Chains A and B, each alone.
Chain A
């Protein structure tokens, strides 16, 4: 309690006045000030930013989020802990977007290292990182763009044996996997832990997205009981150019924003298809029972 009071006093003392592009006045906290307070008081940058937002003071890095999210929305993002399962094409972009949005903590899970054929689309993959761990790259990238985001990195592949422990404590789980059977494992785990699951998949110039809330059938609507579940899809023929994960991941990140802040309309009980060739989006309504 005393620390919280002291923290708030220091934040209030060091906050600066600013004028937003809209002309509206605001009180803000620079990144360096957040770091100074964090070091001086032995609290995380995330905690400093949360305390500031609760007092109506905007960390400057989020100043361009506030017009759309509001301080309350930004605060919800700062408090959230989100699992991104897969740090490849979709996952790397999701991690970038969610870190810049100001998600409080990211649990990043991926057991792979970068290969040369990742360079066409995986934002975390640079030539220097070929052969190195994807989650290590994720951790480094987030530290460079938003050091106030906590990253818990797991250099493992998920299975029924480990997934519950890996995603425990997360308010939602985002699918950035590359296998249909493993996606079903992840969706089942999200259902057990009663958290939403944001599905995404890509192939060629087509992407698909769906948010599965607890109780929804989600991917189970695709496959009848006992049916052979394919591991892969048409991406084995079409590949995965960069534009497709970019658009798909952006929509998945927006689903996360909607789930955490309560805004907007979820892509729920339907599959949204993105046809980049045709510049169209289509919806397939899914059976609810």
Chain B
């Protein structure tokens, strides 16, 4: 895994917070892309984003599906459930 040392704020909601111990964690990770961040999260917190069926990722408040998206120091990443019922 390549990449730089980045400070990333990871925010999760509802049951996802159980993996991280808190709704918001400050991560210091060596990574460049969203994919690499998710791999780090999987290894450290046993949270497998790819295995979630109805989950959305936000990077700096914008929905992100391109896992090759390059992260910057100070980025905010949120993992939230997709919900549609009314």
Find out whether the CB atom of A178 lies under 8 angstroms from the CB atom of B85. yes
Q: How far is the CB of A233 from chain B (nearest CB, A)?
A: 4
Q: How far is the CB of B86 from chain A (nearest CB, A)?
A: 4
* Surface stretch bound by B, among A145-153, A157-165, A279-287: A279-287
Bound form: Cα–Cα A235–B14 in Å = 13
Is there a chain A Cβ closer than 8 Å to B68's Cβ? no
Find out whether the CB atom of A233 lies under 8 angstroms from the CB atom of B11. no
**A interface footprint on B63-86 (CB within 8 Å = 1, 0 otherwise):** 111100000000010101111111
Find out whether the CB atom of B85 lies under 8 angstroms from the CB atom of A89. yes
Is there a chain B Cβ closer than 8 Å to A221's Cβ? yes
Is there a chain A Cβ closer than 8 Å to B33's Cβ? no
Count of residues in A whose CB is under 8 Å from the partner chain: 48
Find out whether the CB atom of B54 lies under 8 angstroms from the CB atom of A287. no
Find out whether the CB atom of B80 lies under 8 angstroms from the CB atom of A86. no
16 A-B pairs in the complex with CB atoms less than 8 angstroms apart = A90-B86, A203-B54, A203-B84, A223-B63, A230-B54, A230-B82, A232-B84, A235-B83, A236-B54, A240-B85, A273-B13, A275-B14, A277-B15, A278-B14, A282-B23, A284-B80
- Chain B positions near chain A (C-beta within 8 angstroms): 11, 13-15, 17, 23, 53-56, 58, 60-66, 76, 78, 80-86
